[in-house]
Amino acid sequence: MTRCVLLALLFLAAPALAQAPPPEPATVRSEQHASIARHDMVAAANPAAAAAGREVLRRGGSAIDAAIATQLVLNLVEPQSSGIGGGAFLVYWSAAERRVFTIDGRETAPAAARPDRFLGPDGKPLAFYDAVVGGRSVGVPGVLRALELAHRRWGKLPWAELFAPAIALAEQGFAPSPRLHALLLRDPFLRLAEPTRRYFYDADGAPKARLVDPGLAATLRAVAAGGADVFYTGPIAADIVHAIAAAPTNPGDLALSDLRDYRAKLRAPVCGAYRGHRLCGMGPPSSGAVTLLEMLGMLQRFDLARLRPGSAAATHLFAEAGRLAYADRDRYLADPDFVPVPVRGLLDPGYLARRSRLIDPAHAPSGPAAPGDPPGTHASLWGRDRAPELPGTSNIAIIDRAGDALAMTTTIENAFGARLLVRGFLLNNELTDFSFVPQTDGRPVANRVEPGKRPRSAMAPTLVFDRRGRIELALGSAGGPAIINDVAKSVIAVIDGHDDLQTAFDLPNDGNRNGATEIEAGPGAEAMAAALRALGDRVAISDRPSGLTGILVTPKGLEGAADPRRDGTALGD
User: Which residues 6+ apart lie within 8 Å of 198 measured at CB?
Assistant: none
532: left (phi over 0), alpha (psi -120 to 50) or beta: alpha
Residue of 311, 322, 386, 394 lying closest to 73 (CA atoms): 394
**262 φ/ψ angles, rounded to the nearest 5 degrees:** -65, 140
Element (H, E) at 235: helix 234-245
CB 327 within 8 A of CB 371: yes
Residue of 134, 146, 16, 149 lying closest to 71 (CA atoms): 146
Instruction: Give the catalytic positions in this structure.
Output: 393
CA pair distance 153, 65, nearest whole angstrom: 11
State CA 565 to chain mean position distance. Answer: 15
DSSP string over 7-74: ------SPPPTTSPPPSS-----PPP--EEESS-EEEESSHHHHHHHHHHHHTT--HHHHHHHHHHHH
DSSP β-bridge partners for residue 511: 518
Residue of 89, 82, 229, 216 lying closest to 159 (CA atoms): 229
Number of Cβ within a 10 Å radius of residue 135: 25
Query: Prior bond to 368 cis, omega within 30?
Result: no
